[in-house]
Amino acid sequence: MNEIIFKHNKIYIENVINFDLAQTLDCGQAFRWSQYNGRWCGIAGGKYIELYQENNSIVIEGASQEEFEDFWRHYFDLERDYGVIIESVSVNATVKAAAEFGGGIRILNQEPWEALCSFIISQNNNIPRIKGIIERLCECFGEKIEGGYTFPTAQKIAMLTLEDLAPLRCGFRAKYILDAARLVSSGDIILENLIDIFFLDVTVGI
């Protein structure tokens, strides 16, 4: 398992296995990460960090030890042994090759509303345009923090109109964003319950 070291206001994830930043942050599961001069910068859970990879280590800057334990450890799914998963799914040559090709991808534990909204925006879209729409969404309706803007809450989006979303240039997706925000905001859909159902199904399947 990974070894976590806190020193010099940085967090070091040592002996990294099955965790490649480029594969994980740029594979299309999350859209708020950008690479600049070898560093990945992004906002998740209302927090901004920068991180980079050196050999078998990942270095995180901008997060306290408390923030790491409360949020980032779970966000990057660091408690899960991906080696065991890869071995278990490598049942034939094709799956094994796919697992080895993407062996550095980790599943990010994203905030459910952000994940749902991003998925709606991603429909029939390409990654650069998805990132652009989400960036405009955050700039228009999120809160300003160091490094950028937070992802707007479902409650904030639910109070808007189609005209309000026009600057996002997200086309037919605007209607579905508003519908989803209102369902989540009203409590008609509780996303956390869907997470529990998903993991129950996965566990039963295994």
What CA–CA distance (Å, rounded) separates 100 from 98? 5
> In what order do the strands lie in the sheet containing 3-7?
3-7, 10-14, 57-61, 47-54, 39-44, 33-36
User: Is pTM, for the whole model, over 0.75?
Assistant: yes
CA dist 1 and 80 (Å) reads 8
Task: For residues 73 and 204, give the distance between their C-alpha atoms in angstroms, rounded to a whole number.
Answer: 25
Confidence at residue 130, expressed as pLDDT on a 0 to 100 scale: 96
Asked whether residue 198 carries a pLDDT value surpassing 90, the answer given is: no
Q: Taking a C-beta distance cutoff of 8 angstroms, is the pair 50, 62 a contact?
A: yes
Percent of the chain with pLDDT over 70: 94
